[in-house]
Amino acid sequence: MSIKVMVNGLPGRMASKVAEHVLKHSDMELLPYSLTGPESESSDYSIANHKMELILPNNREKMLHEVLSYNPFIAVDFTLPSAVNENAEFYCKNKIPFVMGTTGGNRESLEETVKNSEICAVIAPNMAKQIVAFQAMMKYAAENFPGVFSEYNVEIIESHQKGKADTSGTAKSMIEYFNKLGVSVTKEDIVKIRDPEKQKEIGVPEEYLSGHGWHTYTLTSKDNTVLFRFTHNVNGREIYAAGTIDAIRYLHKRMLEGEKGRVYSMIDVLKS
């Protein structure tokens, strides 16, 4: 039996890329509906010749019975930071397991909403498995070698397409690890680049200005004699869509096992 998937956030680029990937996999079925924002001008949309109906916020409750007729299914959320918590409450209220790829919102409240519900969810600020693996290595270092960089300063620079409103969730998640390693840094210290001209200056290919995720973490000793630099540059959205597919399959297995009130991360997906 195929895994039914509702991709929310169309016609956004990340949501569109995930929908394309869902259509490519024989074990998945893309639902013909997608929750969208109030800025959408039309309710009609198609992706790879697959007709979709975009559901505006003021029409959500009216369309609910049609959407729920496909139950059980998994919702994938690539909407906007401002919609994260409201959407999560909607999914939990209507018992729709979900993969939350959207960054921003109140993350603590987001997880509590799921834990107090009858569903489970995968929540991750980054769906790229390889980058998540890098984060796991940083977490291991932070837990096993605390304070090892106590005599160092850190600079965190992240660059994403102009349309990304919030600071990178991946960059923000690294703050905890650097602090445990002995480096004093806050989320406010992250340098966020959204200007295409500056992005070209640092080397982002012009064809990927509209879709990229470049991160550089530079550790420098206080006397400037030693430098460590970690960089992961992603052009395009394929890596995130591929990871999302894995997250969908992982969550589907947890659903079949009857899991409820559980929040999973991409680390859980990687370990499965």
Indicate if 17 belongs to the active site.
no
pLDDT in tens, 98-155: 999 998 899 999 999 999 999 999 999 889 999 999 999 999 999 999 999 999 999 9
Q: Range with the lowest mean pLDDT among 118-127, 144-153, 158-167, 172-181?
A: 158-167
One of 17, 129, 164, 180 is an active-site residue; which one? 164
Active-site annotation holds for 164: yes
Q: Which residue has the higher pLDDT, 160 or 165?
A: 160
CB burial string 192-212: b at 16+ within 10 A, e below:
ebeeeeebeeeebeeebbebb
pLDDT confidence of residue 58: 85
CB atoms within 10 A of CB 100: 27
| C-alpha of 244 from chain center | 8
CA angle 6, 12, 14 (to 5 degrees): 75
- 160, 180, 215, 252: the catalytic one is 160
Between the alpha carbon of residue 135 and those of residues 45, 178, 179, 229, the distances in Å are: 36, 11, 14, 14
In the chain, the domains with their CATH numbers are 3-123+238-271 (3.40.50.720), 129-235 (3.30.360.10)
